[in-house]
């Protein structure tokens, strides 16, 4: 069996259990049969696969479009470069 295909089927089953009930049953039967028929060929159970399968889907972060710098931002930058702005920063530290 291809490992990536099995993991994909498990993830789809975890996301929508109603539509993948038969697939999950077949996977469970196969796992039990494999453990019973080939006990030396089965690796110990870890939580890594379970964590990957049940993890929420990754949604890429949406970036705001970069626009022109605002007037306030440019004013603050200018103020930070003045002697008064530097003195304020030193006192706040």
Q: What does the block give as tokens for 92?
A: 């706040």
Q: With respect to residue 89, please indicate whether it lies within any of the assigned structural domains.
A: no
42 lies in which domain range? 3-54
In whole angstroms, what is the distance from residue 3 CA to residue 43 CA? 14
In whole angstroms, what is the distance from residue 90 CA to residue 84 CA? 10
Q: With respect to residue 8, please indicate whether it lies within any of the assigned structural domains.
A: yes
In whole angstroms, what is the distance from residue 42 CA to residue 75 CA? 65
In whole angstroms, what is the distance from residue 87 CA to residue 91 CA? 6
Q: With respect to residue 76, please indicate whether it lies within any of the assigned structural domains.
A: no
Residues across the chain: 93
What pLDDT, in 10s, does the model give residues 3-40?
Answer: 788 778 778 877 776 767 777 777 778 778 887 888 78
What pLDDT, in 10s, does the model give residues 44-67?
Answer: 777 787 788 778 877 888 877 666
Q: With respect to residue 45, please indicate whether it lies within any of the assigned structural domains.
A: yes
Q: With respect to residue 43, please indicate whether it lies within any of the assigned structural domains.
A: yes
Q: With respect to residue 92, please indicate whether it lies within any of the assigned structural domains.
A: no
Q: With respect to residue 78, please indicate whether it lies within any of the assigned structural domains.
A: no
Q: With respect to residue 25, please indicate whether it lies within any of the assigned structural domains.
A: yes
| pLDDT > 90: percent of the chain | 0
């Amino acid at each position: 069996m291809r490992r990536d295909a099995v993991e994909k089927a498990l993830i789809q089953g975890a996301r929508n259990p109603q539509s993948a009930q038969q697939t999950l049953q077949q996977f469970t039967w196969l796992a039990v049969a494999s453990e019973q028929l080939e006990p030396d060929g089965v690796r110990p159970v870890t939580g890594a696969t379970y964590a990957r399968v049940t993890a929420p889907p990754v949604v890429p972060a949406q970036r705001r479009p970069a626009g022109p710098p605002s007037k306030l931002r440019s004013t603050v930058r200018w103020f930070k470069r003045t002697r008064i702005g530097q003195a304020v920063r030193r006192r706040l530290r």
